[in-house]
Each structure stands twice: as structure tokens, then as C-alpha cells.
């Protein structure tokens, strides 16, 4: 297989292979690494039917990770997608009311972030080995709630790494916070900041771009890398489940060969839906990628007007993992829309930094609308959707998945499109018991999050996931807090520099 190179979205002067890209996380010029071209799925979809999740993961990922040796990549995959997942299908597809729910929450932290973060640590470790890097790799992560726990779980006790997670003190659910603060592993660190997710993400990006900061780490034998979806090592594993859902629909005889489908993706940082876009460009017959936002509807505005405007208040919604105003991965989509013209990207990024907004060209907007549709749901609509789905089908969905369902309803009303549709189900209802149960019946409003877990189990006919049992009794192991401007010094303190 020929080598696939990666470039920064902001300059053309460097081409590197996957191992380097995964170790570095973000490009030195502040841009994001993107593949020089998107490889094609050359086998007909119907010929992939016999592959289980692991075999398919290998088939898709080796197209990108061309400098990983075959047995090494296979080993990474088998360490990631095993009985850590509570469903042998890894990403089961459940049909309810004519819709297909791709349940991506059967991993150890109950959100779709596990799909990528259970493999990224292994990829990173192997990449560092291949490149003869002897430094300690410090994984720096900003989280809106789910990435943090998934990164901690993925990197805990991985030799040669430390993982530091910053989360917005008031921006995550109680269950999410407790999942993180009870994390075991001597190389794990969790810090609450007095700001929003955007503050945390901005802080992390600034640290990555701070040359003198990185030089100090360097002389102390450390280097930074990222577990956020700015790391392409997060995105590549996510392409797999789009292919997986399509071939499952064929296998179940729900669609014929090459029949187009829609996918609805609850979106925040634009990583998940971008993986879907890559899958489409690689050859998965996807009609529309439906971008579902909550009331922080910057992307809805962007898709419908061509103007990206972050100048607004961040709202705390019932789908906190999507409470984001600056969607990092959009830069990777823009790069495709402008046919890899880095000067266009630089001017848009510059405008976003200086003026808080940018506008895409007409040509880019036309291309955008070929592949995407954008809508949003309010909290009230989200709650009503949870109740409707439960009342009609006895199926409980979490708030993020409900945003997608609510948006899908609007899409059908608007377009009358009746293609088969996959709802990307990003979190378990057990992760947001308070909102989910309140939606089903107001009487649960007064219950504590932790007591509600039993109720979710009763209503959904599923037992409480292992990872949440007794969580309220587990010892809190992390209690660091810092001001949003002190993230750098906090890192030095942790690393004893």
C-alpha cells in the first residue's frame, strides 16, 4: 500500500506520516493535520459484510496509518475493541420506529468517545516507539465532560504517558464529574477550571502553540500531545462505525446495495460528523450528513447562512457535551470545501480570531450544502423527544441522542426525504439520568442523579453499567482546581517542573 501523507490545514511546507501526526497532535503552525487525499473503499460495500468490527477497523484504518506495521495495528485494534465493551457487536444498531440507532455508548465510559479513545493510547505508544521517542508524552485534554473520562480511562497506566484533563467546573453533569474525579491510575490528573469548555479548549490550544512552554517541557524530557479530536488519531477510528452501520443495514436486508442513507449526528466540536463526511468521501453511500445542534446553534447558523459567528453567550443546556461555540474540526471541513487552499483557511481563521466571525465563499457554501443539513433543538424539544420515544417504543435515549432525533423530525418535515436514516447515539441514558428521567416523568425531578440510576435501569430494562455501579461511594482521588489563566503553571506543578 502506498504511503498516505498528512499536511497542516494552514501551510504546505511539511508532509508527514501518520505516526508523526498522532504523536504531535496539532501542527506547529496552529493548524490541524489532514490527509493529503481521502483513500477510497475499493471493495463493494456488500463484500465487507463478513467483517466483524475489528476486521473492519483494520480495513479502514490501515488506509490512513500506512506506516504502522500490520501486526502492530492489529494488536492495537484488539486491545481496544474487546470485552471492555459490554456488547460484542461493539457498535450495535437498534431499530425503533423505523429509525436506526447506532449505539456508540457500550464502552467503559458510556459515551462514543470510547470508540476512539480506547485505541488512541495504543496507537500513540506504538507511534512513539517507532519514532524512537524516549520522552514522556503528556496528553493534554480539554473536556466538555465525555472526552476527559474517556481519555483518562484510555491512558490510565499506559507506560510513558501522563494524562492531564481540564474540565469546566460548572459545565459537566454530576455523573460525568464523579466519573473523572474517581479515576484510578498513577499517571492521571484531573483539574477543574473556573470557566467554560471553550475557555479550557482555548487554554489548551494556546499551550500547544506556546514555543517557550514547549521548550521548557523539552529540556525536562517531556512532550505534549493531544487526545482531543484535533488529533487525527481520534478521527480515523471514528470513520469505522459509519462504514459498520452501512454494512449492517445491508446485512439486515434493510437497504439494497448502494442505496443511500442519511445520518444524523449530535454535534459539538464537529469531530464525529467530520468522520462521517470522510466516510462519505471514501465511498459510503451517504445522502445527507444532518448536523444536529442544541441551543448553542453556531453550526446551524453557519450551514444555513455561510457565516460562522461565535460572538454570543454560551448556554448551559441539557446536552452539555455539545455546549461549544468554536468547533475545532470545522477547519478540516473548510479545507476540503476550498480545495486545500491554505490562504483561504488562514484568512478565515484570522477573521475568527480578530472579529469573532468569518464568511465562506459562495462556491464553498454550495459544496457544503451538497453534503450537509443543519438544524437545532431546544432543551424543551429535547425533553419532549425523550418522552415521545419512550412512550412509543419503550426505548430510552440520552439528551444528546434526543437532540439528533428532534432535528431529524424537522428534517423530514422540511424535505419530505424518506431515505433510511441512522441516528448516531452518542451517550448512554445512564450518563444523564437526571434529564432523561425528568423528561419521562416530572416526579423524578426531585431525585438525586445517583439514585436515579436504579430508575433508568427499571425503565430501560437494562442493568446499571458496571462502570457506574457504586460510583457515589467511590473515593474521590482528584480535587485540583485552577483559574482559567493558570493552566500552564498547573501543568508545571503536576509535572514537578
Ligand X SMILES: *Cc1c(COP(=O)(O)O)cnc(C)c1O
Positions that interact with ligand X (CB under 6 A): 111, 113, 146, 229, 266-272, 321-322, 400, 426-427
- Residue closer to ligand X by CB (options 255, 289) is 289
Q: Residue 487 CB, nearest distance to ligand X (Å)?
A: 20
Q: What is the distance between the terminal CA atoms of the chain, rounded to a whole angstrom?
A: 43
Rounded Cα distance between 271 and 144, Å, is: 13
- Residue closer to ligand X by CB (options 241, 270) is 270
- Residue closer to ligand X by CB (options 77, 104) is 104
Q: Residue 266 CB, nearest distance to ligand X (Å)?
A: 4
Rounded Cα distance between 167 and 170, Å, is: 9
Q: Residue 322 CB, nearest distance to ligand X (Å)?
A: 5
Tell me which of 63, 69, 84, 113 is the catalytic residue: 113
What is the radius of gyration, based on Cα positions, of the chain? 21
For residue 113, indicate whether it is catalytic. Answer: yes
Instruction: Name which of 374, 370, 378, 386 is nearest 327 in CA terms.
Output: 374
Rounded Cα distance between 299 and 325, Å, is: 8
Q: Residue 302 CB, nearest distance to ligand X (Å)?
A: 13
3-class secondary structure, 31? coil
* Residue appearing with cell numbers 460495500: 45
The CB density around residue 89, as the number of other CB atoms within 10 Å, is 13
Q: Residue 229 CB, nearest distance to ligand X (Å)?
A: 5
E-assigned strand segments in 61-116:
93-96, 99-103
Query: Nine-digit cell at 115?
Result: 470508540
Strands 6-8 and 33-35: what pairing? Answer: antiparallel
Query: Nine-digit cell at 55?
Result: 476486521
Rounded Cα distance between 180 and 153, Å, is: 9
For the annotated catalytic residues, the residue numbers are 113
Amino acid at each position: 500500500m502506498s504511503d498516505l501523507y498528512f499536511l497542516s490545514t494552514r501551510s504546505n511546507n511539511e508532509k508527514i506520516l501518520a505516526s508523526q501526526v498522532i504523536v504531535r497532535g496539532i501542527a506547529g503552525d496552529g493548524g490541524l493535520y489532514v490527509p493529503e487525499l481521502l483513500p477510497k473503499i475499493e471493495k463493494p460495500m456488500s463484500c465487507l459484510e463478513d467483517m466483524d468490527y475489528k476486521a473492519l477497523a483494520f480495513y479502514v484504518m490501515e488506509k490512513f496509518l500506512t506506516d504502522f506495521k500490520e501486526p502492530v495495528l492489529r494488536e492495537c485494534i484488539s486491545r481496544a475493541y474487546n470485552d471492555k465493551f459490554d456488547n460484542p457487536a461493539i457498535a450495535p444498531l437498534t431499530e425503533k420506529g423505523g429509525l436506526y440507532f447506532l449505539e456508540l455508548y457500550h464502552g467503559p465510559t458510556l459515551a462514543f468517545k470510547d470508540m476512539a479513545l480506547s485505541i488512541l493510547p495504543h496507537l500513540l505508544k506504538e507511534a512513539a516507539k517507532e519514532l524512537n521517542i524516549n520522552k514522556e508524552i503528556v496528553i493534554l485534554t480539554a473536556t466538555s465532560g465525555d472526552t476527559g473520562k474517556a481519555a483518562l480511562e484510555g491512558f490510565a497506566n499506559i507506560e510513558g504517558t501522563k494524562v492531564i484533563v481540564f474540565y469546566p467546573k460548572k459545565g459537566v453533569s454530576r455523573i460525568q464529574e464523579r466519573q473523572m474525579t474517581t479515576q484510578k491510575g498513577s499517571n492521571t490528573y484531573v483539574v477543574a477550571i473556573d470557566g467554560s469548555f471553550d475557555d479550557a479548549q482555548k487554554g489548551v490550544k494556546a499551550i500547544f502553540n506556546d514555543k517557550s512552554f514547549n521548550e521548557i517541557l523539552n529540556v525536562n524530557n517531556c512532550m505534549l500531545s493531544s487526545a482531543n479530536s484535533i488529533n487525527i488519531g481520534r478521527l480515523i477510528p471514528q470513520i469505522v462505525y459509519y462504514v459498520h452501520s452501512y454494512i449492517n443495514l445491508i446485512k439486515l436486508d434493510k437497504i439494497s446495495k448502494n442505496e443511500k442513507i442519511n445520518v444524523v449526528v449530535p454535534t459539538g466540536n464537529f469531530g464525529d460528523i467530520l468522520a462521517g463526511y470522510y466516510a462519505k468521501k471514501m465511498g459510503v453511500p451517504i445522502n445527507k450528513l444532518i448536523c444536529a445542534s442544541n441551543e448553542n446553534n453556531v453550526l446551524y447558523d453557519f450551514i444555513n447562512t455561510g457565516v460562522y459567528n461565535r460572538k454570543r453567550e454560551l448556554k448551559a443546556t441539557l446536552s452539555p457535551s455539545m455546549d461549544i461555540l468554536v468547533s475545532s474540526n470545522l477547519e478540516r471541513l473548510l479545507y476540503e470545501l476550498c480545495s486545500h487552499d491554505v490562504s483561504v483557511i488562514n484568512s478565515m481563521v484570522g477573521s475568527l480570531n480578530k472579529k469573532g466571525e468569518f464568511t465562506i465563499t459562495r462556491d464553498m457554501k454550495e459544496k457544503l450544502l451538497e453534503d450537509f443539513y443543519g438544524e437545532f433543538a431546544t432543551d424543551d424539544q429535547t425533553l419532549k423527544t425523550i418522552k415521545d420515544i419512550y412512550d412509543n417504543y419503550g426505548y430510552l435515549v440520552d439528551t444528546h441522542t434526543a437532540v439528533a432525533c428532534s432535528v431529524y423530525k424537522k428534517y423530514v418535515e422540511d424535505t419530505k426525504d424518506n431515505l433510511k436514516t441512522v441516528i448516531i447515539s452518542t451517550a448512554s441514558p445512564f450518563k444523564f439520568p437526571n434529564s432523561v428521567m425528568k423528561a419521562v416523568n416530572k416526579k423524578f425531578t426531585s431525585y438525586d442523579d445517583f439514585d436515579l440510576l436504579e430508575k433508568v435501569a427499571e425503565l430501560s430494562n437494562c442493568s446499571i453499567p458496571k462502570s457506574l455501579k457504586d460510583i457515589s461511594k467511590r473515593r474521590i482521588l482528584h480535587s485540583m482546581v485552577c483559574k482559567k489563566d493558570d493552566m500552564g503553571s498547573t501543568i508545571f506543578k503536576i509535572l514537578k517542573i
